[in-house]
């Protein structure tokens, strides 16, 4: 592999000049810069990241942290985020390092090692939980981090999120406007995730504005019977806004079994189902994970002042 020393020798320049030229240092004449770069190209020069990182006392890597426990459904979202993150990192000549484990301790050790041994100074967390030990750690260290999902009330750090209230309202509006649904119900998990609360709020607002009576289904994980009961108790329902695609699909199927000849329109979130499992009555709000990943990287590299912590809201679409 050619090094800057090789370029220097070949051109009768010093190593320092070559280094500066390649880094576009103003102090080197434009002409020299051009010539050096051309020669670098010719020799197939590739910078040695390890050497650079050693001198810089900082790795050209972003640590991407996965949550310890996640629902199967979320994995699709994570891979979308990875795509966006890496696309943005490539153009910055940065590398994507993953921290993933089966216990909090494991992930915590992983992240610590990234900070102290690998000298990584920038992190993206694919989640945003309250009282998360990784977040606690990162706040104390001289590093920058961005979470996917907003912090709990009272907490403050860089994050990327969707506008879930609006996503809830838009999903509801979509069913009413496009498919003339009159009585959409709102279905959520029993877990009360922050994004669910927001989407529910959006649904409630939209229903209030249209003078319709809202109905909330808390869909149990296992108990099919209870779900059937809910469906039977609400003969008026002709649409479903579900906090995620899985919940939506589940209701859709039970509804079809109970009312084989009634039509119903469903909208879920995340585009997490393959075509094989859906049809033209099933819709999904795209939260654009790739764009969220890209936004996270951009946020991570903006040198924001500590006083005004920023965030980015990524648009959704149906």
**Residue from 10, 23, 152, 315 that binds DNA (CB under 7 A)?**
23
Which is closer to its own copies, CB of 275 or CB of 305? 275
How many residues in the shown chain lie near DNA by CB under 7 A?
A: 29
- What does the alpha-carbon distance between residue 258 and residue 254 come to, in Å, rounded to a whole number? 6
Q: Which stretch binds DNA (CB under 7 A): 4-12, 83-91, 101-109, 238-246?
A: 4-12
Say which DSSP state 97 is in.
E
Which is closer to its own copies, CB of 172 or CB of 243? 243
Token couple for 52: 């650079």
Residues 172 and 204 sit within 8 Å (Cβ to Cβ): no
CB of 301 to its own copies, least distance (A): 18
- What does the alpha-carbon distance between residue 110 and residue 113 come to, in Å, rounded to a whole number? 5
Q: Is residue 113 near DNA by the rule CB under 7 A?
A: no
Say which DSSP state 286 is in.
B
CB of 303 to DNA, least distance (A): 15
- Indicate which of DNA, its own copies, none lies near residue 69 (CB less than 5 to 8 Å, by partner kind): none
117-146: contacts with its own copies (CB under 8 A) = 117-119
CB of 202 to its own copies, least distance (A): 22
Residues 159 and 214 sit within 8 Å (Cβ to Cβ): no
Token couple for 48: 């040695």
Q: In 3D, which of 157, 137, 155, 139 has the Cα closest to residue 147? A: 157
Q: In 3D, which of 209, 232, 212, 228 has the Cα closest to residue 220? A: 228
Which is closer to its own copies, CB of 83 or CB of 311? 83
To the nearest 10 degrees (0 to 180), the angle between helices 30-43 and 15-22 is: 90
Token couple for 116: 């102290």
- What does the alpha-carbon distance between residue 170 and residue 242 come to, in Å, rounded to a whole number? 12
**Residue from 12, 142, 190, 274 that binds its own copies (CB under 8 A)?**
274
Sign of the C-alpha dihedral, residues 262, 263, 264, 270? Answer: positive
Which is closer to DNA, CB of 19 or CB of 284? 19
CB of 21 to its own copies, least distance (A): 18
Q: Is residue 35 near its own copies by the rule CB under 8 A?
A: no
- What does the alpha-carbon distance between residue 144 and residue 122 come to, in Å, rounded to a whole number? 5
41-70: contacts with DNA (CB under 7 A) = 45-48, 51-52, 54-57
Sign of the C-alpha dihedral, residues 36, 41, 43, 44? Answer: positive
Residues that bind DNA (CB under 7 A): 1, 3-5, 12-17, 19-20, 22-23, 27-30, 32, 45-48, 51-52, 54-57
Binding stretches for its own copies (CB under 8 A): 1, 46-51, 53-54, 59, 61, 64, 66, 70-73, 75-76, 78-79, 82-83, 86-87, 90, 93, 95-102, 106, 109-110, 113-114, 116-119, 219, 221-222, 224, 246-247, 249-250, 253, 256-257, 260, 272-277, 279
């Amino acid at each position: 592999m050619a090094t800057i020393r090789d370029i220097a020798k070949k051109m009768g320049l010093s190593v320092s000049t070559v280094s500066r030229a390649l880094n576009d240092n103003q102090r080197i004449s434009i002409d020299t810069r051009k010539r050096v770069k051309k020669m670098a190209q010719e020799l197939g020069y590739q910078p040695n990241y390890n050497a650079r990182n050693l001198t810089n006392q900082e790795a050209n890597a972003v640590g991407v942290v996965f949550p310890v426990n996640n629902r199967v459904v979320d994995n699709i979202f994570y891979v979308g985020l990875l795509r966006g993150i890496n696309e943005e990192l490539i153009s910055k000549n940065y590398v994507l390092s993953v921290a993933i484990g089966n216990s909090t301790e494991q992930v915590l050790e992983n992240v610590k090692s990234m900070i102290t041994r690998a000298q990584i100074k920038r992190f993206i967390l694919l989640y945003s939980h309250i009282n998360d030990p990784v977040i606690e750690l990162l706040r104390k260290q001289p590093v920058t981090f961005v979470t996917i999902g907003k912090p709990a009330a009272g907490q403050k750090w860089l994050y990327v999120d969707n506008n879930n209230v609006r996503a809830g309202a838009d999903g509801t509006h979509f069913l009413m406007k496009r498919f003339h649904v009159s009585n959409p119900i709102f279905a959520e998990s029993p877990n009360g995730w922050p994004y669910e609360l927001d989407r529910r709020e959006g649904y409630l607002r939209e229903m209030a504005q249209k003078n319709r009576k809202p109905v909330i289904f808390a869909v149990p994980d296992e108990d099919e019977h209870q779900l059937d009961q809910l469906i039977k108790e609400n003969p008026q329902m002709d649409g479903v806004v579900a906090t995620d695609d899985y919940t939506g699909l589940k209701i859709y199927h039970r509804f079809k079994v109970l009312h084989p000849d009634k039509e119903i329109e469903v909208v879920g979130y995340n585009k997490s189902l393959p075509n094989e499992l859906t049809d033209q009555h099933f819709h999904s709000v795209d939260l654009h994970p790739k764009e969220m990943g890209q936004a996270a990287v951009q946020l991570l590299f903006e040198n924001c002042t500590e006083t005004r912590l920023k965030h980015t809201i990524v648009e959704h679409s149906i």
